[in-house]
Amino acid sequence: MGFTVRPRRLGSGPNRRARLAPALAAGVSVLAILTACGGRAEPTKLTWHTCGDDMECSTLTVPLDHTRPQGEQLELSLTRLPAGGDRIGSLVVNPGGPGVSGLDYARAARSIVSEPVLERFDIVGFDPRGVGRSSPVHCLDDAGLDTFLALDTTPDTADEQDALVSASRDFAAACQAHSAKLLPHIGTIDVARDLDLLRDALGDPQLTYLGKSYGTLLGATYAELFPARVRALVLDGALDPALPRLTLNTEQALAFDTAFRSYLRYCLADSDCPFSSRTISGAAQELAALLRRTDTAPLHAARPVTESLATLGALTPLYDRSGWPILTAALRQARTGDGTLLLQQSDHLVGRLANGTYSNQTAANVAINCIDAPYPRDPQTYAQAAQAADRISPAFGSYLTWSSLPCAFWPAAPSKPRPLRAAGAAPILVIGTTRDPATPYSWAESLAGQLESGVLLGFDSDGHTAYFNGSGCVDEVVDRYLVTGVVPGEEVVCPDIR
């Protein structure tokens, strides 16, 4: 399915913060940097109007094909929360995904950035091309997505593998049938060029940006394309653009396994923990066995909870410690054959509403990942990689590998790999969390090393992403950098004192 992120529901207390729930094997890419031909699109003058909750909304016109700036155009939906005090400029935010709405993310501005940043910057969000309210990609209808997402993505037999291959091929064909014109122009490079047009339209000579998870790849790509136009980039929950796609899936499986074992230390300290074994290794084996049983005996809920849906439901609460009690309750239910909570978590992650409709998150996620870098075309390559990943993470490895299979049949040609260096850019702050389930800390170390001006900030904690997640140490470093451009003089690892 790809590497996706989705804002969690916001709490109501005085220290509200938006957390991201990215999921599933995805793929980051080493990017091909394309040189636009035929000049540059003319900057757009933005016309803003009020749209509730102190927000303002607008649209930005961008070319479908940046090599033909005067050709067919797209409209991107924008929103902003104006600065509350002495304004420096705009802070453009991206929650990741790919495929998650930046409009919704910016509307939660007071829960995603600190008060000093709200005072000095307009907080600007946009739905990237192909996402949400910006010319959304369309592949399957709601019933088709229900079927596709419930499909067995951990095939144990030749027949199961054939069914998965067929469904993945059909998914790619459906995307081509409904969105053929958009598919070749939906990659991160295209969005980075849109981001530069947005910066220009906002009137900022340089970009100030906060990107989380996949948003770190967008920020790093922007810096490679436009290094002189970087003012300050915060790349939180970093992806490693140097990794081959299926290697990325395997490393992510290991990170999820590490995160689950961290959860188990919390769970096993409670007498209410739903595992028979009182050891971490034993409890981890119990989860893998529970998920395997759903392959032939789905859990009961409003819809049958298949192995794929149960795995999604178990992954989702690992993105934030606040989800750990939910995971405990869901696994306690599952031991009785009830998959209600696991299904709720799975539906939240993939953007399925209670009325059975979906956002276009899954379609956009797959389409962007598949165009960003080459995937293997032979399904047997996935089978071999899944076996290796399963040895590393019996609960999550096979699922995270096979979920990328639609890219084996993708109709649009992917970008060609090239490393990201961003030579000549101002300092770029890269953040990693040591037990991040979706973007391992090693990826942040790698990206900070690849970027010539990369500076690493570590957070020794659990959960996905670090900024505005309860660490005064992280927030202080990020806020100072956004406001002044000053980075730490040496690598900092913030302790977890929550």
pLDDT tens digits for range 435-456: 999 999 999 999 999 999 999 9
Q: What is the mean pLDDT of residues 360-379?
A: 97
Active site residue 464: yes
Q: What kind of architecture, by CATH, is found in domain 49-126+205-240+427-494? A: 3-Layer(aba) Sandwich (3.40)
In whole angstroms, give the CA distance from residue 128 to residue 78: 9
Q: Minimal CA–CA distance to 117: which of 476, 487, 430?
A: 476
Centroid of chain to Cα 356: 23
Active site residue 213: yes
Q: Catalytic one among 179, 213, 308, 404?
A: 213
Q: Catalytic one among 464, 471, 479, 496?
A: 464
- Provide the 3-class DSSP secondary structure of residue 79: strand
The proportion of the chain whose per-residue pLDDT surpasses 70, expressed as a percent, equals 91
Q: Are 48 and 57 in contact (CB under 8 A)?
A: yes
Q: Is the pLDDT of residue 7 over 80?
A: no
pLDDT, one tens digit per residue, over 266-292 is 999 999 999 999 999 999 999 999 999
Residue 106 pLDDT: 98
Residue 43 pLDDT: 67
Cα–Cα distances (Å) from 127 to 95, 117, 222, 239, in that order, read 10, 22, 16, 20
User: Which is it for strands 121-126 and 73-81: parallel, antiparallel or unpaired?
Assistant: antiparallel
In whole angstroms, give the CA distance from residue 264 to residue 470: 22
In whole angstroms, give the CA distance from residue 444 to residue 275: 33
Q: Which residues belong to CATH 3.40.50.1820 in the chain?
A: 49-126+205-240+427-494
Average pLDDT, the chain: 92
Amino acid at 53: D
pLDDT, one tens digit per residue, over 94-121 is 999 999 999 999 999 999 999 999 999 9
- Provide the 3-class DSSP secondary structure of residue 443: helix
Residue 40 pLDDT: 64
Q: Catalytic one among 320, 436, 462, 479?
A: 436
Residue 447 pLDDT: 98
Retrieve residue 279's tokens: 């050891």
Residue with tokens 């990369």, as numbered in its chain? 454
Amino acid at 60: L
Residue 337 pLDDT: 98
Active site residue 436: yes
31-35, 149-153, 335-339: the lowest-pLDDT one: 31-35
- Provide the 3-class DSSP secondary structure of residue 49: strand
Cα–Cα distances (Å) from 232 to 130, 328, 390, in that order, read 26, 40, 39
**More confident: 418 or 481:** 481
In whole angstroms, give the CA distance from residue 145 to residue 364: 13
**Band of pLDDT at residue 376, cut at 50, 70 and 90:** very high
Q: What is the mean pLDDT of residues 419-427?
A: 96
pLDDT, one tens digit per residue, over 215-258 is 999 999 999 999 999 999 999 999 999 999 999 999 999 999 99
